A and B are shown apart, each in its own frame.
Chain A
Amino acid sequence: MNCEEYWNDRTRPAADFDAHLEACPSCAARAAAVRPVVAGLRLLAAGMKDVSAPARVEARLVRAYRERYSRRVPPQSEVHRWWAAAAAVLLAAGALWTTARAPRPTLVATNAPLATAGGAEQEDSAFIPLPNAAGSPQDDDVDLVRVELPRSAVTALGIPASDYGDAETVEAEVLVGPDGMARAVRLLN
């Protein structure tokens, strides 16, 4: 191993380096000169290991990231409508499940305020109040949400499934109050 290899070739076995140092006073002197420097640099590095950028840099970068990658947020009314629809489906299903296990309610073809909400009143298919709607204010500002109910849920409402042919699901409209509770359901054709 020559001097150039000693300093620039780290791929060789350690024994080669030791042998070169023993044979070359010049490299031995250089190596001795840098050893304390390397040790000092390690101390310097250890003393700086906790140094890092201030927190405001991360805050600015996260803001920039959100601006770069943010998706379009739907208008508030749209969000509200979808939440209402999801809530209505769940609540209607829950209510129908409850109804199936309770004494069958009397179906009411009603002209009550609920039925007129949203201007969705139809003479041949009135809203059927759900059991959990009892006691709810009648003049609420309700949302009308269209859903698909499974055939079994229709049967639970006391309506013969045969009225709807072979369809697996039946289209319905659900009135959802401002509290998110389903008030009434109306089956569509």
Chain B
Amino acid sequence: MKPPESDHQLFERLRAGREQAFVALYQKRQPALYRFALQMSGSASVAEDITQEVFLALLRDECGYDPSRGTLIAYLFGIARKLLLRQYERRRSDVPVDTGAEEPGFAEPVDASDLLADLTDRERIEALRRAVGSLPRRYREVVVLCDLEEVDYADAASVLGCPIGTVRSRLHRARLMLAEKLRDERHGGASVPAWKAARCAI
């Protein structure tokens, strides 16, 4: 059986005028890009526009994808991120203010054993979705990329323009912030069996 074509092979073929390759690459990669834009913007219409713009960028003569500088998926997420940043600048009041500074550490680790207690699975997911949506942008994007879309750290570092170590430390802080937010939510609500604990994949 013929192995599936790599992103780079599809890119080469689509640039040679093969529509099938363009459609194949789109269908392979658009869901993650759309979800990333959706999680980051909170708007389906913005996510739709950004997904479209990302793939239109591949058609331009001056398409800046350079395989020697990173993977195609990192390039695509990078374009989506730039477009999202422009959106933030236009609609700054709609999103949490990002001061650009790293958040302070958490002196008191939260007791996670019953963070999401007394909530149904659906409520747990909704609580976590809200918590992710309320993270400052730089933490939200690393959680969405690495935890929700399973982009590897090297690609995430390429997308975010920072060292891999920064991705890791930011992700760790983001998870602690989420734990904190969920604890706060719980204190305003209920308590019960926690998430089934999974080994932390940092």
A positions within 8 Å CB-CB of B? 7-8, 10, 26, 29-45, 47-49, 51-54, 57-58, 60-62, 64-66, 68-69, 71
Contact = CB atoms under 8 A, between A and B. Distances in A.
A134 to B, nearest CB: 46
Contacts of B195: 35-37, 39-40, 43
Given A41-B143, A52-B34, A69 B109 contact: no
B52 A60 contact: yes
B179 A34 contact: yes
A69 B112 contact: no
B197 A30 contact: no
Interface residues of B: mostly helix, strand, loop or mixed?
helix
Contact of A36 (B23, B31, B116, B168): B116
Given A36-B115, A65-B59, A68-B59, A43 B121 contact: yes
B116 A52 contact: no
Contact of A34 (B31, B169, B175, B196): B175
A51 B182 contact: no
A53 B30 contact: yes
Contacts, number: 147
B144 to A, nearest CB: 9
Contacts of B176: 30, 33-34
B56 A61 contact: yes
A61 B52 contact: yes
10 contacts: A7-B169, A33-B110, A37-B195, A39-B198, A51-B34, A53-B30, A58-B26, A58-B30, A61-B26, A65-B22
B1 interface: no
B23 A51 contact: no
A66 B22 CA distance: 10
B191 to A, nearest CB: 13
Interface of B: 14, 17, 19, 22-23, 26-27, 30-31, 33-35, 38, 47-48, 51-52, 55-56, 59, 106, 109-113, 115-116, 121, 124-125, 128-129, 132, 143, 147-150, 153, 165, 168-169, 172, 175-176, 178-179, 182, 194-202
Nearest to B27: A58
A53 B31 contact: yes
Contacts of B35: 48, 51-52
B169 A8 contact: yes
B148 A48 contact: yes
Given A7-B172, A35-B200, A41-B175, 4 more contacts: A34-B112, A38-B201, A44-B125, A69-B59
A73 to B, nearest CB: 14
B149 A62 contact: no
A21 to B, nearest CB: 10
B23 to A, nearest CB: 7
Contact of A57 (B52, B116, B132, B199): B52
A69 B19 contact: yes
B158 to A, nearest CB: 17
Contacts of B116: 36, 40
